[in-house]
Structure 1
């Protein structure tokens, strides 16, 4: 699509994969399918994404052919700053929108940037509670056609574990993600539940190699190397979600956190901490359970009922998939953002 037609620009100013990256990758194509004249800008996104280049910004002194002001939809501080520069310094006809997922008090700098936005979206009620200005809550969603329960003809990502029940954990291997809390829970529980195997998917970056090595040493000392498996960063996590009978998200802190929704949409109940928006996703006792962030004992006690009763895990997994389809489909997020865009187009002239 030509820059003259683009009405919404979604900047992405980070090369490394992050939760924001996942959000943009899932949302942008579906927003375009829904009729939004949107393009992304920046590195770190697949080549298939609708995009413009930085030189295209030179054309943004002119409004698009629709005559509306363009919307600059930022999700990070540096993206907000760029929007302020384009609108207030270069005087480009733009309105600024920020989506906030932060679960903490904002710095003075961030508060100043947020104050310059024309509208703000919070990804959860909890993240909205940290904003000092009016906002709209639009929770993230997942593609329930992509993240869906297993079918009989699906290939098994772990044929060597055929017949085993799998409890999964996915995310970068680091203390923030609570990987150690999951490992400690598995060391305590798995000896009592021989039908289960734990699988940990995620990348270990250089600064967290020592952390990961310590976890492996703990597992080896417990004699559970064959039952607590690190599979690294996988190219496609979806088949693993479908293979899990239970998913655990033990983060100590989180922005939003999509993995429980992805796992639940795939038919696995989720035991989570109360970090990020996790507690707003779970129906306790129906789709999973929630434990206080950082509380290893509480996490272990929330996990154990599922290991003791695999049929409970199956029932809750079926309900979890329906719950996500009904309440967290990505189409809901697209519709919510479209309403915000429409309000901005109307109010900005």
Structure 2
């Protein structure tokens, strides 16, 4: 075994074994990058797949820049490779490889956007060989045939409490129950809506403490500082906490009993799935694919995006009846395992690939 493999670092994959390339042309962590990081190891169990580009863990299978000339040759056992793009830049690169350099390649694009595409993006999408939408809502903005394959999550990583460290008392925070808001601190994520709801509700429900997890970028520091001032003015600094970026977020999904995802807009949004898999009920806006992930009244509740009053009213019954909240949390575990396991997403994507290969 190569030394790099022993250290958990994947050596470059032989190009002849690569059937699918998953490019990532963005260095900073994003939802798209997170999808690649989670999905590729699952796909690699049954498929010759490699990533290409910066910003990805060294543990993922990959090809390097110096291996690109080898893409002129067909992969073993296939007439062509598949280039699976998730951004405009990656679609353009695929078009150049296939149409300009004439490499044996077909192009797949996954679209999570829930808005009308620009003319340039429509031009790129129109040159794909197959298109995947991550939700019915994102598919409604596509003008080409497509297949809906919803994201899944790793239910081995996101799982119900298994030890005392997974329970709320391990947090060392006041109260008997936790309510969490996960994601970067900014207006788009609706952090202010969550804070306003907590300021209104927590005085009536002394058994609960609210936690806000996520990074504050320089451009959003004033936004976060204003929220902290509102919390302090309400006398709730001990019960509405900003945790920032924690080293391991997974136990916190298990410790809180309710997760609130109040985004004003999203691409897809994995937070409700991660929470439900961790045995946590969810109140979410209808941004992104949230409404397609939650079973209303059974695993959580969905409210109109940007409606702070509706959000507060939806959260209140969960704080008033923790036992009922726990029942919905337990239902969420089974719901995610049955419908949103990562293997299910990998199977759906593989079906798109096989559809292309079968036509060759």
Residue 43 of structure 1 is matched in structure 2 by: 54
Residue 197 of structure 2 is matched in structure 1 by: 185
Measured in 2, the distance between the counterparts of 1:337 and 1:271 equals 29
| Secondary structure, aligned partner of 2:44 | helix
| Secondary structure, aligned partner of 2:221 | helix
Residue 37 of structure 2 is matched in structure 1 by: 25
Select 2:83's aligned residue among 68, 72, 82.
72
Residue 152 of structure 1 is matched in structure 2 by: 163
Residue 338 of structure 2 is matched in structure 1 by: 326
Q: Give the superposition deviation at 1:67.
A: 3.3
Q: Give the superposition deviation at 1:104.
A: 0.5
| Secondary structure, aligned partner of 2:243 | strand
Measured in 1, the distance between the counterparts of 2:292 and 2:269 equals 11
Measured in 2, the distance between the counterparts of 1:175 and 1:346 equals 46
Residue 235 of structure 1 is matched in structure 2 by: 247
Q: For residues 216-295 of structure 1, what are the structure 2 equivalents within 5 Å?
A: 216-295=228-307
8 Å CA contact 1:178–1:294 kept in 2: the answer is: yes
Measured in 1, the distance between the counterparts of 2:127 and 2:214 equals 37
8 Å CA contact 1:5–1:66 kept in 2: the answer is: no
Select 1:110's aligned residue among 96, 121, 131.
121
Residue 312 of structure 1 is matched in structure 2 by: 324
Q: For residues 6-25 of structure 1, what are the structure 2 equivalents within 5 Å?
A: 6-25=18-37
Measured in 1, the distance between the counterparts of 2:157 and 2:164 equals 15
Q: Give the superposition deviation at 1:161.
A: 2.1
Select 2:66's aligned residue among 55, 58, 76.
55
Measured in 2, the distance between the counterparts of 1:127 and 1:294 equals 19
Q: Does 1:137 align with 2:162?
A: no
Measured in 1, the distance between the counterparts of 2:261 and 2:179 equals 11
RMSD across aligned C-alpha pairs, in angstroms? Answer: 1.2
Measured in 2, the distance between the counterparts of 1:105 and 1:235 equals 37
Measured in 2, the distance between the counterparts of 1:302 and 1:283 equals 14
Residue 101 of structure 1 is matched in structure 2 by: 112
Measured in 1, the distance between the counterparts of 2:32 and 2:128 equals 19
Measured in 1, the distance between the counterparts of 2:310 and 2:86 equals 33
| Secondary structure, aligned partner of 1:71 | strand
Q: Give the superposition deviation at 1:22.
A: 1.1
Measured in 2, the distance between the counterparts of 1:99 and 1:118 equals 11
Deviations 1:2-61 (A, max 9, x none): 11110100001111111111111110001001x110000111111111111122111111
Measured in 2, the distance between the counterparts of 1:146 and 1:262 equals 9
Q: State TM-score, norm by structure 2.
A: 0.94
Gaps of 5+ in 2: 1-12
Q: Give the superposition deviation at 1:163.
A: 5.5
8 Å CA contact 2:74–2:81 kept in 1: the answer is: yes
Residue 188 of structure 2 is matched in structure 1 by: 176
Q: State TM-score, norm by structure 1.
A: 0.97
Q: Give the superposition deviation at 1:296.
A: 0.3
8 Å CA contact 1:247–1:260 kept in 2: the answer is: yes
